[in-house]
Each structure stands twice: as C-alpha cells, then as structure tokens.
Amino acid sequence: MLALRGLAKHYRLGEGEPVRAVDGVDLDVADGELLALYGPSGSGKSTLLLLIAALLRPDRGTVTLDGREITALTEEQAARYRLADLGFVSQKAEILPGARVIENAALKLWIADPRGAERRVRPLLERLGLGERLRQRADTLSLGERQRLMIALALSTEPKLVLADEPTGSLDTQRSREVLALLSEVCRERSVAMLLVTHDPEAAAFADRVAELRDGRLTDYDPDRAAIAQRTA
Ligand SMILES: Nc1ncnc2c1ncn2[C@@H]1O[C@H](COP(=O)(O)OP(=O)(O)O)[C@@H](O)[C@H]1O
Ligand SMILES: [Mg+2]
C-alpha cells in the first residue's frame, strides 16, 4: 500500500513567495484501489505524482510503498523502483515511431529479459485490443490505440502502482471513456493500485474513491462543484 505523510514541495523562484505546489498531503491508497485525484490546473497534481515517483525530492514528509520509504532511496534505487514497481501513463503517448507496436510495449521488460520481453507482453496487448496490430509500426496507430499501447508498457512489468497523469487528456469523450474503462478494468484484474490524475469529473466515475487537490492540499471531493467547473471551463 501507498502512504503519503505530511508531504510538501514548494518551488522557489527568485525573491518572491514560494509556490506551494504540494502543501502537506496525507493520503493512503490500498492495494488494488483506484483513486481518482481531481483538481484544476495548477493545483499540484503533477508535482504530487513526481514526488511519488521519486523524480522530485520533497521539502518535507515521506512517501512509502509497502513499508519501503521511497523518499529515502538513492538515485540508483529510485531508478530501479520506477522500472520494477511503477507504471506511468501520461497525457501524451510517447511512442518510438519507427518501432513496432510489440517492440514499444516490450521496452521496459527488455532491460531485464531481452529474449522473453515480447513473449511476456503479448497477452497484455491482446487484452488491450491491439492483438492485430503487434507487427505494425507504432506511428500507424490512432491516438486511442497509442494510449492503449502506453497502458501495456506501464503494466508490462507487473507494477504494484500505476500513476496516470491525465491519461486521456488528448482524446475525445468517447475514446477517453473507452481508454479509462479499459485501464481501470485491467488494473482491477491484476490488483494494481492506481492514482488517476484528472480534471475531468467523468473520469471520477471509474474510481473507487475520489480525492480533490486545491492549492496543494487535499479536500473532500464535491461532484456538483466539479461539474460546474467543467461546464464553465
Ligand atoms: N518546476 C517548477 N518550477 C516552478 N514552479 C512549478 C514547477 N512545476 C510546477 N510549478 C508550479 O506549481 C504549481 C502546481 O503545478 P502542477 O503540479 O503542475 O499542477 P497540476 O498538475 O495540477 O496542473 C503551479 O503553480 C505551477 O506553476
Ligand atoms: Mg499536471
């Protein structure tokens, strides 16, 4: 299980007041739980994910995963943790355009097991509806298919935790729902915990629980306020 305690990160730019991007966050995410983290642009969502991924060091507080203090890892340990225990899905599908679909999906596994990587990732690509596309170049895929390829890459190492930062931000409503439904189904099947960052109130419907971030602090999620914010955006 993931536990955040008193987590804070302030950005200092020149002389002025620091930006309190993450400002004292306590949060638990259980094994296999899908938590949607909702919040407007600038509320600190991406900074929070960077702290959990050990890509950024907090000013205060701790991140632990299954009792292991992530915020105390060395650079090398953190790199290993990201490779083995974490999956990432970001807004932009960062594919290698000249490589085939299956080669893209096998990239993380390839580091530990170059010969077995493609065989191991294949069932996951099939589960994600890309079974007919394995040998195609990744740049021939549609946006929705590229996002599914990124999900395959994220889940390929059987991580404990998936961090998804607005994973459907570049998709239309219909595609966005399909991708979110698939992402949440596959995480549930595999008991993978997921922190799904979004500013789309619709996305919250796929979660077990919703938390809201405002100015770097967690607050109770208010679906009505979220719906109004969405309509006036
Ligand atoms: N590297 C950085 N340096 C300085 N300020 C930053 C940096 N990254 C983010 N911020 C600021 O921190 C706040 C939170 O940003 P971010 O975590 O990206 O929020 P969100 O993902 O919710 O849009 C914003 O005010 C943003 O401008
Ligand atoms: Mg962000």
Q: pLDDT means per 10 residues in the chain (233 residues)?
A: 97 91 97 93 95 97 97 97 93 91 96 94 95 97 93 95 91 87 90 90 85 93 73 65
Ion ligand 2: protein residues whose beta carbon lies under 5 Å: 45-46
- Residue 29, number of CB atoms within 10 A of its CB: 22
Q: Probe ligand 1: pick from 7, 9, 10, 11, max atoms within 8 Å of CB? A: 11
Q: Would you say the CB of residue 39 lies under 6 angstroms from ligand 1? A: yes
| Domain ranges (residues) in the chain | 2-232
Instruction: Tell me how far apart the alpha carbons of residues 117 and 223 are, in angstroms, rounded to a whole number.
Output: 42
Q: What was the pLDDT predicted at 233?
A: 59
For residue 199, what are its two tokens? 């500013």
Q: What was the pLDDT predicted at 78?
A: 98
Closest ligand 1 atom to Cα of 216: 14
- Report how far apart, in Å, the C-alpha atoms of 69 and of each of 37, 51, 54 are: 22, 12, 10
The ligand placed nearest to the CA atom of residue 48 is 1
Q: What was the pLDDT predicted at 179?
A: 86
Which backbone phi and psi does 15 adopt, to 5 degrees?
Answer: -85, -30
Cα 28 to averaged position of ligand 1 atoms, centre (Å): 22
Q: Read off the pTM.
A: 0.92
Closest ligand 1 atom to Cα of 41: 23
Q: What was the pLDDT predicted at 168?
A: 87
Residues in CB range of 79: below 8 A, 6 or more apart: none
Q: Probe ligand 1: pick from 17, 23, 43, 47, max atoms within 8 Å of CB? A: 47
Write down the residue that tokens 């292991």 correspond to. Answer: 68
Cα 196 to averaged position of ligand 2 atoms, centre (Å): 11
Task: Assign domain 2-232 to its CATH architecture.
Answer: 3-Layer(aba) Sandwich (3.40)
Instruction: Tell me how far apart the alpha carbons of residues 103 and 98 are, in angstroms, rounded to a whole number.
Output: 10
Handedness of CA 19, 76, 86, 27 (dihedral sign): negative
Residues in CB range of 139: below 8 A, 6 or more apart: 95, 97, 98
